[in-house]
Amino acid sequence: MRIRSSKTDQDAAGAMIAYPRGGSPVTCPACRLLDWTTVLGSFLGEGRVGVLRRLHQDRSRGREHTCSRPDLLHIWTELVTGHPEGAVIRSVTKAATINDRPVSGSTVHGVLVRRLVAAGIDPTGYSGHSLRAGFVTDAYTSGATAHEIMRQTRHTSPATLEGYARHYAPLEANAVTRLGL
């Protein structure tokens, strides 16, 4: 997906960010992004009626990897070339109207809190930023290099990136542990 500009890209040079296919359709970032953009496209074309129709079709279809469906290739093409215009992840009103504005940080926080509570986790101390720090920490723990992580997060400095790695156990991401002594 093409990011036209961001907080860390004040000159709006843009960047291409990869969202690889996941092992399960339920957790596949590419499928989820494609599903959302089909809902957004339905809204832009037909309004709320289009969204309801799309959601009903998706419910009756079952769970498959939508990211590999050839009939949805045009949506991927639009994402890669920087279309549709405006934010991809947009705010939605209580009346199910999709706005042109990007989703706010407080909305992300609210969703995160609701999901944590549903999972039985105390949401105290979590924020939308926790997702970014968690990604960096898990990527390091899984053996990703700083360069690989920076390509995804668009950090420009390994020192800044290191501040996001939050290892809470002393033997986690420990060089001595890697030696296998």
Per residue in 58-108, pLDDT tens? 665 556 777 777 766 666 566 555 545 667 788 888 777 888 888 888 888
Q: Answer yes or no: do 121 and 85 share one domain.
A: no
4 pLDDT more than 70 = no
Please say which residue of 69, 103, 137 terminates a domain.
103
Rounded Cα distance between 76 and 117, Å, is 34
Q: Answer yes or no: do 9 and 98 share one domain.
A: yes
Q: What's the pLDDT score for residue 119?
A: 92
Q: Which of 127, 88, 87 is nearest to 107 (CA)?
A: 127
Rounded Cα distance between 60 and 40, Å, is 19
Rounded Cα distance between 19 and 32, Å, is 10
Please say which residue of 76, 103, 130 terminates a domain.
103
* pLDDT band with cut points at 50, 70 and 90 for residue 122: very high
Q: Answer yes or no: do 163 and 113 share one domain.
A: yes
Q: How many domains does the chain have?
A: 2
The whole-model pTM stands at 0.65
Q: Answer yes or no: do 71 and 133 share one domain.
A: no
Domain that holds residue 134: 104-181
Of 14-18, 43-47, 116-120, 134-138, the one with minimum mean pLDDT is 14-18
Q: What's the pLDDT score for residue 6?
A: 66
Q: Answer yes or no: do 92 and 71 share one domain.
A: yes
Q: What residues pair up with 9 in beta bridges, in sequence order?
A: 6
126 pLDDT more than 80 = yes
Q: What's the pLDDT score for residue 156?
A: 83
CA 119 to chain centroid, in Å, comes to 19
Q: Answer yes or no: do 116 and 89 share one domain.
A: no
Give tens-digit pLDDT for 129-178.
Answer: 888 888 898 898 888 999 999 888 888 888 888 888 876 666 666 777 77
Please say which residue of 103, 121, 150 terminates a domain.
103
Q: Answer yes or no: do 173 and 97 share one domain.
A: no
Q: What is the 3-state secondary structure (H, E, C) of 23-44?
A: CCCCCCHHHHHHHHHHHHHHHH
* DSSP labels, 105-130: HHHHHHHHHHHHHHTT---TT--HHH
SS3 84: coil
Q: Answer yes or no: do 141 and 89 share one domain.
A: no
